[in-house]
Amino acid sequence: MKRKDRLLAILIALQQRPETAQRLADKFEVSKRTILRDMQSLSEMGVPLYAMPGPAGGFRLMEGFQLPPLQLNAQEALTVLFALRSLMKMADTPFREARWTVADKIRAILPEQTLKQIEPVLAHVEIEVPERRAKTPHLSALLEHTAESRWIHVLYRSENHRRWLKLLPRRIYAAHGFWYCEAYSAAHEEQRTFRVDRFEQIERIDEPGDEPGKGRRQEGKRGDRPESSIRILAKLTYRGALLAEQDFHIGDSVKQVSEEEWELDFRCPASEWGWAVRFFFTLGLDAEVIEPEHLRNELFEMANRLGDRYRFDPKSGREKG
């Protein structure tokens, strides 16, 4: 980012909320010293800045200072429209018609030359989102409860059960075409991940006491590295690499080592061992586990059991099993 663009971005950020030099440095990927020099430059240009000390402090703009309306440049317009188009691929969102109207409004205010510059790019780049039919009627309410850190009582439908749970939702995110909710579950006494489309009813409840579950293991975080973890190394074909890259937790561990070979090297928490066995078994001949040896042995045993199920019986003329 050019310095003049960064100075403008700092002003826009400060119009929204106070910011510390370190937060701004992290945001713009520069050093804290660079941000302090930028603040000095803004002051010398007459921008009314002041700093507040303490944990809740940071740089602020004097009350009443406002930047004039700003026009998006081509790269900024491309960024916004690309993000909106990706959101439109979700089967159900809490934003519904707003995702379409805001895109139309942005296009309406952009200069014709800017539109001609970005439309060809938008036609050839996209984020792949699987098509899903799942509906999430309680997503908007869930977002509000999560933002307010409220306890909720939900009727949740899993693959094998349908029951009421007390949850403290902490994060909502979209992945693989579904919406997910990370929440502390009073019944399980740990943080777990739930599919939002499986929430059939939601009720707000009061829950006394301190917030539980801090520091506990989070379910579904295979990418984390707890104290007890096992290194897994595997060779992958092109197809195996594509499948592994789609996994939310280990996708970034896939590396290409030659023209026709890929490698997957990661630490698997001991609690997720069963997942690892099933995952590599489903990859079949598109993966070869190098280590650990006991994972190779378990895959061999599973393959034998599958072979026994479909073994051909010459006497009956059909498969056994």
100 in the same domain as 51: no
Q: Indicate if 44 and 110 belong to the same structural domain.
A: no
Question: What is the tens place of the pLDDT at every residue in 30-43?
Answer: 999 999 999 888 88
pLDDT at 226: 38
82 within some domain: yes
Bridge partners, residue 230, by sequence: 268
User: Quick check: is 40 in a domain?
Assistant: yes
**Residue 319 forms part of a structural domain:** no
Predicted local confidence at residue 4, as pLDDT: 80
Q: pLDDT value at position 276?
A: 93
pLDDT at 299: 96
Do residues 189 and 163 both lie within one domain?
A: yes
The answer to the question of residue 297 being in a domain is yes
Of 61, 85, 104, which residue constitutes the final position of a domain? Answer: 61
* pLDDT value at residue 69: 61
Would 23 be classed as within a structural domain? yes
285-295 burial, b if ≥16 CB within 10 A, otherwise e? ebbbbeeeeeb
Predicted TM-score (pTM) of this structure: 0.55
Cis peptide before 69 (omega within 30 of 0): no
Domain count, the chain: 4
CA atoms within 13 A on the CB side of 289: 22
Residue numbers in the chain where pLDDT is lower than 70 = 67-70, 96-97, 159, 208-227, 313-321
**Same-domain status, 30 and 7:** yes
pLDDT for res 319: 59
Single out the residue in 204, 238, 255 at which a domain terminates.
Answer: 204
Residues 200, 257 within the same domain: no
User: Are 41 and 92 within one domain?
Assistant: no
C-alpha distances out from residue 237 to 256, 284, 285, 299, Å: 10, 10, 8, 18
- Whether residue 32 is found in the same domain as residue 93: no
Domain span at residue 270 reads: 229-308
Bridge partners of 231, per DSSP, are: 267
Helix (H/G/I), strand (E/B), else coil: 238: helix
